């Protein structure tokens, strides 16, 4: 079974004054072919668009939020205020390079997959990738790196253990839809 983003929508085609309605569901990436003579199509409407992120993407976005909250302080969408600045500056400094590596990987992903000209290592603000484009392999790989990489001295998991934060519980309760909406990632 594919752990891919799922997209569904209704497509309404107006052709020669008549309407045809169809329901489309796509898992992963895909395209839709309209089986009508194109010169007779007046309008095509998309309605009720819904994108459901993969489990790997949900985990990735939640872990990114958790890392961000612990580095920069809690926001109203992630951790409660009790964790705001609970880590020392020294502890945060040990976690910070993982985020820099992640940003570099995001820029490289955009450059390789989205046909853009992001320069790896530049100051361009590449923070997350849209859910419809989220590669399951990228999401799974970087969720694990952000959570477990202790190369710089303190992994996110170790920081959460210090603060008594249950990472899996955080992921399970995470408002992924709100995150995607706030960051315009649908």
Task: For 83-98, write each residue's pLDDT tens digit.
Answer: 878 899 999 999 999 9
Position 1 scores a pLDDT of 45
Cβ proximity of 139 and 120 under 8 Å: no
- Answer yes or no: are the C-beta atoms of 11 and 32 closer than 8 Å: yes
Contact 91, 150 (CB under 8 A): no
Confidence of residue 2 (pLDDT cuts 50, 70, 90): low
Which tens digits make up the pLDDT trace of 126-170?
677 777 777 788 889 999 999 999 998 999 999 999 999 999 999
Parse the chain into domains and list their residue ranges.
6-52, 55-182
Over residues 113-124, mean pLDDT:
60
Distance CA 109, CA 96 (A): 20
Contact 117, 70 (CB under 8 A): no
Q: Report yes or no on whether pTM surpasses 0.85.
A: no
Q: Please give the Cα distance from 7 to 101 (Å, whole number).
A: 30
Give the span between the Cα atoms of 185 and 167, in whole angstroms: 23
Contact between residue 131 and residue 63 where contact means Cβ atoms under 8 Å apart: no
Which contiguous run of DSSP H or E holds residue 60?
helix 55-72
Q: Is pLDDT above 90 for 41?
A: no
DSSP 151: T
Confidence at 115, pLDDT banded by 50, 70, 90: low
Kindly report the number of other CB atoms within 10 A of residue 124's CB atom: 13
């Amino acid at each position: 079974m594919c752990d891919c983003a799922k997209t569904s929508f209704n497509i309404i085609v107006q052709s020669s004054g008549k309407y045809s309605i169809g329901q489309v569901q796509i898992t992963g990436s895909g395209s839709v072919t309209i089986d009508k003579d194109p010169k007779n199509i007046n309008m095509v409407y998309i309605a009720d668009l819904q994108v459901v992120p993969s489990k790997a993407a949900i985990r990735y976005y939640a872990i990114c939020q958790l890392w961000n909250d612990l580095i920069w302080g809690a926001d109203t969408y992630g951790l409660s205020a009790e964790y705001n600045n609970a880590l020392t500056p020294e502890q945060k400094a040990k976690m910070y390079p993982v985020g820099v590596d992640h940003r570099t990987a995001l820029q490289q992903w955009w450059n390789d997959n989205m046909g853009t000209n992001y320069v790896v290592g530049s100051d361009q603000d590449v923070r997350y990738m849209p859910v419809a484009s989220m590669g399951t392999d990228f999401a799974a790989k970087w969720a694990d790196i952000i959570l477990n990489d202790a190369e710089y001295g303190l992994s996110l998991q170790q920081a959460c253990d210090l603060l008594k934060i249950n990472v899996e519980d955080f992921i399970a309760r995470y408002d992924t839809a709100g995150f995607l909406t706030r960051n315009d990632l649908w």
